[in-house]
Structure 1
């Protein structure tokens, strides 16, 4: 039976097969926030028995994805944030206010084993969440990602480039200064969160970094681990529990 996972974010759609309850080798599709590329379904099998969808994207984009799946998929289950699942409990009193991507990242980390875990998502936003060794979400933080910082600066000051530069301690040109400032701000928040987490739970958490902009944070945080499929891992755990 062909089962697939679909994680629709603000800039990318991540797709992967569910193979014996685990995330198989998948692919990612970039989009502009309004529509998916016309040929994105070419990498999918001709027939999918069931699909699991998580989305933080605008409703029209989600509708276009569902329409594309409708012609080849027998059943689509959509994930929503829940107060708890499989021994993991979130901190939010109102679950609908926690993004489903963060919920699934927490679930994916919990499925990896006992924490504490510090989960860092680097997409449009920079999200940081703490999961203790008992599977209790202790809360999180949200800030602009380095890419969004650059975009914001560019909108207000178009002469400042959107991309380029390298992270250095003190830059001697504008490109490097922008990279150093925006990436450094993100890494500083992660480091501060790791220190605060240690005080809160009494142990240094393992830092898992995921999302399209993960590379810059991974380079700046000692001991951080790349977890590119973390949200999909959470989806796989959710699917197994249904």
Structure 2
């Protein structure tokens, strides 16, 4: 059976084949605009797919465009949704609909990977931080603007402030470096503060897992971090295995 995984976020569309044993194949990023989705899927995907598993937190128009493009080549499309419990993972939110499915799937994958407590940080349009104990209980999280979004908003309100460029330094001597240092530094500080709070809460050091398009920039300043680019897709693969068995 030919199966593919799709992670449709606010910034990127990632996909990968689902291999034997629930493994995630080579992931690729596709164009993230409604008008480009169909052509991108035609270029990168097989002509026919038995089943597509989709996790989406994107705005409705883009989500519909992806579904329409997939419908032309897929026998079945299965859409993942946040669940109050998945195996040992139990989410903290009283209303599961309020926890983005990408965060939910990242927790599922993190629990399988970490074999212990984990602090899971997604760096995309938003910066999300979620704490998971060794038993799989989600202890809650935080949401903040990512460094990229901070730069974009600052540029929109003050066009003289560039939305890209600059290097991280402790005390910058030009505007580009000051912006990079301030926005990246704010995200790093939030993660470090969350790690401190997690140690107090758990009585031990959680494993720090980073994922998302902006994770590589922050990882350079977080020496204990492990980058897992496919974390959401890995969680989606686990969800797909249970959905197929049902």
TM-score by length of 2: 0.96
Once the two structures are superposed, what CA deviation does each residue of 1:68-97 show, in whole Å capped at 9, x if it has no partner? 111110000000100010111000011111
Q: Is the 8 A contact 1:29 1:40 kept in 2?
A: yes
Q: Residue 217 of structure 1 aligns with which residue?
A: 218
Mind listing any 5+ residue stretches in structure 2 that lack a counterpart? Answer: none
Tell me what 2:124 maps to.
123
What is the number of equivalent residue pairs in this alignment? 241
Say which structure is richer in helix.
Answer: 2
Give matches, 1:89-238, under 5 Å: 89-238=90-239
Contact 2:27 2:230 in 1 (8 A): no
- Contact 2:17–2:26, Cα closer than 8 Å, also in 1: yes
> What per-residue deviation string (whole Å, max 9, x for no partner) do you get for residues 12-53 of structure 1?
100001001111112111324x44345211110111000100
Structure 2 vs 1, CA of residues 96 and 16 (structure 1 numbering), >3 Å: closer, same or farther? same
Task: Please report how far the alpha carbon of residue 113 of structure 1 lies from its aligned counterpart in structure 2 after TM superposition.
Answer: 4.3
2:24 aligned partner: 23
**TM-score where L is the length of structure 1:** 0.97
Q: Which moved more, 1:132-141 or 1:36-45?
A: 36-45
